[in-house]
Amino acid sequence: ATTAPRIPSTRLALHHFDTSYSLHLGALWPSVRAGLLCEQKYGALLNNFAAADHVPQELELLNATDFISEARQKVQQWQRGAAARGCQEGSEMSPPLCASISSKIKCYTFPRGDITRFRPARPDSLGLLDYYLMDAASLLPVLALNVQPGDFVLDLCAAPGGKTLALLQTGFCGHLAANDVSVSRAKRLYEVLHSYVPKEVRDTVSVTSYDGRDWDQVKGGTFHKVCVWELVKISLLNRHSAMEEHNNIFHKRRTKERQMLPMLQLELLMAGILAAKPGAELVYSTCSLSPLQNECVVE
């Protein structure tokens, strides 16, 4: 063991990905693999609380577009087409996609193949930053949660704060409980809220650092909407593991920790379910491609 060459954790991660995901994803894996190894590309989540009406026009001049409004238009086209097919064929239509939340959230991205970087966010006259840079795909579980006016929302793994900020952009949260087990990450969440959200809105948010697995013992059966997403931030079993040696979950000393992730995620999901009111909705979303952490946990 002392004389054998040390294999970097990133190489171990890629070997694991190639072995397992090539079987799971088939012909899609080469393009997914290339995406994981490319430089990360961000979207700009507009801050509705900032006085920044000029920002959309500024971003559009750079050839960026709001991918959410584009998606909403495509859904509406699909629904019209499905309605026409249903009339002709007598087939049942899928339920319409609720667009009430997406109309309030705007996130600009550059076209495929365009790796232009967004400028750093700028403060308005009150000091609130005009947009938040994040992975645009991270907004998909926020949209799926479909928050309605007055909902009590639990964000069980909230830090660093992008999805929490997106939930507040809807203007619908009656109360938002933002929890993260890491005290240092919860401090980062505080910083995001103070940089983007006015005090009167921050007063509707409670930031805590409980172990998410015990949340049902704190406030069980009280929430209309529960978010359990990117459960174990330290794992980042895709891009981070393939690109960064620091804090890499594929380090040989962390094998047992990595193997226990599905069980930890299952416990968090169960706590989220127990924290919800009868008839509530929960979104479970991870940052992993592994079926063990996704389909198997849900089953």
Rounded Cα distance between 269 and 267, Å, is 5
Which residues lie across from 44 on neighbouring strands?
108, 133
What is the residue-averaged pLDDT of the chain?
A: 87
Rounded Cα distance between 182 and 158, Å, is 10
Q: Range with the lowest mean pLDDT among 104-113, 145-154, 221-230, 243-252?
A: 243-252
Annotated binding-site positions: 157-163, 180, 211
pLDDT band of residue 78 (cuts 50, 70, 90) is confident
Q: Active site includes 287?
A: yes
Helices 29-37 and 9-25 cross at an angle (nearest 10°) of 150
Domains, the chain, ordered by start: 39-80+101-297 (3.40.50.150)
**Tens of pLDDT, residues 24-59:** 999 999 999 998 888 888 999 999 999 989 999 999
Rounded Cα distance between 299 and 285, Å, is 14
Annotated binding-site positions for S-adenosyl-L-methionine: 157-163, 180, 211
Q: Look at residue 257 in the predicted model and tell me its pLDDT.
A: 85
Q: Look at residue 65 in the predicted model and tell me its pLDDT.
A: 96
Q: What is the pTM of this model?
A: 0.87
Rounded Cα distance between 30 and 22, Å, is 8
Contact in structure between 283 and 223 (CB atoms under 8 Å):
no
Catalytic residue among 107, 173, 227, 287: 287
With tokens 């910083």, the residue in question is 191
**% pLDDT > 70, the chain:** 90
Residue 127's nearest CA partner among 196, 35, 69, 74 is 196
